[in-house]
Amino acid sequence: MVTPREFWNMRSATYDQGSGEEYAAAYDKTVSNTLKYLDGDDRVLEFACGTGITTVAIAPHVAFVRAIDISDEMVGKAREKFQTLGLSNVELSQTDLFDPCLEEGSFDAVTAFNVLLYVENREEVLARIRSLLKPGGMFLSATDCLGEGITRVGIRKFWKSHTGSMPYVAFDSRKKLEKEIAQAGFTVLERENLFPAPPNLFVAAKKL
């Protein structure tokens, strides 16, 4: 079976031309929803930053962004964007969420865009995100909920994940995903579906 790093390294070559364009409006709405909960003094962790599509839109509005991704190819493409745009307040590295270099209680917000459906150990991931936030910090996510109905995307990902050509994929309902976030120690302040099919659920949640 392909590993997550291998899979996303392969996807990096065409990610912006594929998912980036198809979900362009959803990405724009994700950013606009996110910025409502951030201010100029905030330190933000972007979990699974990918090629930096959302990072380049968020970074100018906050004090600091720590952007991480497990794919070195994704990180390479993101770094090119950040250098071209001169984003001096972004620290980028190829690592995972559990790297001890990420200090607990050090971020005002953690973002996780289009990644939670690929997380098999979600309970641990949500607990880790909560631990990295300051008291009252914000968790901001957008996630495809493939369990809401049959879609071409869902069928393709189900087949690929079960044949080993892509890693684990979750098939959540919107209600189930929101419940898991709440059970992890967050109060959900906002939710919005950003894409018709499959639903792409934006959630803004505050650390209790």
pTM confidence score: 0.96
How far apart, in whole angstroms, are the C-alpha atoms of residue 191 and residue 99? 29
Section 162-175 average pLDDT: 96
Is 90 within 8 Å of 57 (Cβ atoms)?
Answer: no
Integer CA distances (angstroms), 93 to 66, 126, 165, 180, in order: 8, 21, 26, 28
pLDDT band for position 18 (50/70/90)? confident
Residue 19 pLDDT > 90, yes or no? no
Mean pLDDT across the chain, nearest whole number?
Answer: 96
Q: Looking at the 3D structure of the chain, how many domains does it have? A: 1
For residue 189, the domain's CATH number is 3.40.50.150
Q: Characterize 169-180 residue by residue with b for buried, 16 or more Cβ atoms within 10 angstroms of its Cβ, and e for exposed.
A: bbbbebeebbeb
pLDDT band for position 20 (50/70/90)? low
Section 72-76 average pLDDT: 98
Supply 89's token pair: 């307040």
Residue 49 pLDDT > 80, yes or no? yes
Domain range for 158 is 4-207
